[in-house]
Amino acid sequence: MADHLFGITDTGKVRDNNEDVFIAQEVMNGQFLIAGVIDGVGGYEGGEVAAAITKEVILTELTSIGTDVITQLSLAFSLANEEILARKLLDPKLEDMACVATLAVIDRENNLLHYIHVGDTRLYLFRDNSLVKLSKDQSFVGFLEDSGRLTEEAAMQHPRRNQINQALGLSSTEEISDAYCETGSSPFLPADLILICSDGLTDMVPQSGIITILGTDAALTVKGKQLIEAANDAGGKDNVTVVLAMNDKAPVLHDISRPLTEATAPAEKTLIPVQEAKTRVNEPLAPVKESPASVINYPSSAAIKQEETRGKTANHNGLLLLLSILCVLFLATSIWLLLKPPGSVKPAAAVVAVHQPGSNPEEKLIRDMLLKLKGDTLLLSADQFKNPVKLSQSLTIDKDTLVIKTKGPIIFQPDSAYKGPAVTLSSNCKYIVINQLVLENFETGIVSYKNAAELKNVRFNNCKYPLQVSFQFPDHSFINGRMSKRPYLADSLLRKL
């Protein structure tokens, strides 16, 4: 893969450990390239752990690439964020760990680049000897530099250049807005090159130095090593990681338009001199002799008009005849109905209205709130409802992202005739959080058509199947993958409530 994909990382000259990891991998028989740099944050051990968790989740989620790459990248980052938070709960020593990351997926067949980014790792596009920064640093100094308030040289020397605003593992997913992670797509043309790197490179080497190295004809392995050497020669104050990916297709060259030669010039047309043309125009035309077979007799205008009049008269007479027949049929039917004895005509079958049990006021209120909700957070207060809330049918959630929070205990129970699940998450759901809800006496508590449900302090009382997860796959297809590691743990304290 050295000809189109290469990654390298180095501890640097100051640090004792390396908290950086990189991804440089082909998937789906080389149709897609995955390139990424992950920079751990949080001390000697924590940063390494956060970076390793994120890399594992990404590789698991991107074993195969679907049609909606951006959504797949966002889900991978979301799951990595949750994995880091879960690991913090298990090991208090890691409570400060987090990581920044930039990840790109290259669609080689369609010459496209899709990316996701959080923190101060960077993504550059190198084309025609120009270096364009696609990602934006989510840091105080990075914002000043991107907005033009700081020069590159000043930003490299700024004392707060390593203070980040956003990272994976700092906040729970429901607290993260859609803009928390930067995403985008870009054409990735033949001979294009991308560079993904940690701040260990950009804090040491200016863009002009990077351009000089990338602009050579050397192989990607050589360019990568030269970038590492340049960072270390400048001081090597941090771990430095570089991933390079290139569109190795041959550029399309178009033939240059050339002047016409004698061999390719079109044949010249014989032109008639103007004087000769005038003479020919004034000459009388010779009579044309026609054979009997070529003579066509055209009807006169009077004959044509006569034929049109006959056609209109015939159409008018036909219409009168049709109307007369319809009138006779209508009259005969009316007389037959009047003379028919009563009761001989059967009435139409009566329409039977099937009565379906309606929702009670509390259930209807919740359904209306779900229907009219404009944001991604639904707040339910126990003061709004008469507990328990009886459900006559499942509460179906069809939103991409939703957080359900309750204030006070709210209990859902099925009414006497309902046997289905309490809550159903449709296949459109990607991330649904249900917080502090009690589901009682249901055969099935929650049905999720993806692994999209996150439960927080949810209680299942007398539910045979508390959570049921289903997947929908295309028929007659080979399926690859596994369920991500998102553990559900029973809290012993909550069981006593």
Q: How confident is the model at residue 236 (pLDDT cuts 50, 70, 90)?
A: very high
Interatomic CA distance for residues 104 and 69, integer angstroms: 10
Q: Which of 163-167, 286-290, 353-357, 394-398 shows the lowest per-residue confidence on average (mean pLDDT)? A: 353-357
Per-residue CA distances from 473 to 423, 449, 477, 478 (Å): 22, 11, 8, 9
What's the pLDDT tens digit per position in 114-160? 999 999 899 999 999 999 999 988 876 777 777 777 777 777 767 67
Give the model's pLDDT for residue 296.
43
Of 246, 271, 298, the position where a domain reaches its end is 246
Amino acid at 238: D
Residue 54: inside a domain = yes
- Cβ(116)–Cβ(181) under 8 Å? yes
Helix (H) or strand (E) holding 22: strand 20-27
Interatomic CA distance for residues 465 and 325, integer angstroms: 71
Does position 284 have pLDDT exceeding 60, yes or no?
no
SS3 of residue 269 by DSSP = coil
Of 246, 261, 276, the position where a domain reaches its end is 246
What's the pLDDT tens digit per position in 355-380? 344 568 888 888 888 888 888 888 88
SS3 of residue 386 by DSSP = coil
Per the structure, the count of domains in the chain is: 2
Does position 243 have pLDDT exceeding 90, yes or no?
yes
434 burial level (CB within 10 Å; 0-12, 13-18, 19+): buried
More confident residue, 92 or 347: 92
Does position 280 have pLDDT exceeding 60, yes or no?
no
Interatomic CA distance for residues 11 and 94, integer angstroms: 21
Q: How confident is the model at residue 161 (pLDDT cuts 50, 70, 90)?
A: low
Interatomic CA distance for residues 441 and 418, integer angstroms: 11
Does position 492 have pLDDT exceeding 80, yes or no?
no
- Cβ(73)–Cβ(82) under 8 Å? no
Residue 354: inside a domain = no
Of 222, 246, 270, the position where a domain reaches its end is 246
Residue 310: inside a domain = no
Give the model's pLDDT for residue 107.
96
Mean pLDDT of 73-92: 90
State whether 83 and 230 are in the same domain: yes
Interatomic CA distance for residues 201 and 204, integer angstroms: 5
State whether 156 and 14 are in the same domain: yes
Model pTM above 0.75: no
Interatomic CA distance for residues 14 and 238, integer angstroms: 7
Q: Which residues contact 55 (CB under 8 A, 6 or more apart)?
A: 21, 23, 36, 38
More confident residue, 240 or 44: 240
Residue 319: inside a domain = no
Q: Which of 114-123, 388-397, 402-411 shows the lowest per-residue confidence on average (mean pLDDT)? A: 402-411
Q: Which of 67-81, 337-351, 352-366 shows the lowest per-residue confidence on average (mean pLDDT)? A: 337-351
Mean pLDDT of 411-431: 90
- Cβ(155)–Cβ(147) under 8 Å? no
Residues β-bridged to residue 197: 122, 242
State whether 30 and 177 are in the same domain: yes
State whether 225 and 370 are in the same domain: no
First-residue to last-residue Cα distance in the chain = 58
SS3 of residue 342 by DSSP = coil
Q: Tell me, what DSSP letter sits at residue 281?
A: H
Interatomic CA distance for residues 227 and 214, integer angstroms: 9
**Taking Cα atoms as reference points, which of 51, 55, 69, 406 lies closest to residue 239?**
51
Q: Tell me, rounded to whole angstroms, the distance of Cα 243 from its chain centroid.
A: 24
Per-residue CA distances from 106 to 46, 60, 172, 234, 248 (Å): 30, 17, 29, 31, 12
Residue 453: inside a domain = yes
Compute how many other C-beta atoms are within 10 angstroms of the C-beta atom of residue 289: 6
State whether 234 and 106 are in the same domain: yes
State whether 241 and 382 are in the same domain: no
Residue 306: inside a domain = no
Q: Tell me, what DSSP letter sits at residue 341?
A: P
Pairing, β 411-414 against β 438-440: parallel
State whether 230 and 366 are in the same domain: no
Domain that residue 109 falls in: 5-246
Q: C-alpha angle 495/496/497, rounded to 5°?
A: 95
What's the pLDDT tens digit per position in 287-318? 544 444 434 444 444 554 555 555 555 556 66
Residue 281: inside a domain = no
Please give the mean pLDDT across all residues of the chain.
Answer: 80
181: domain CATH number is 3.60.40.10
Residue 317: inside a domain = no
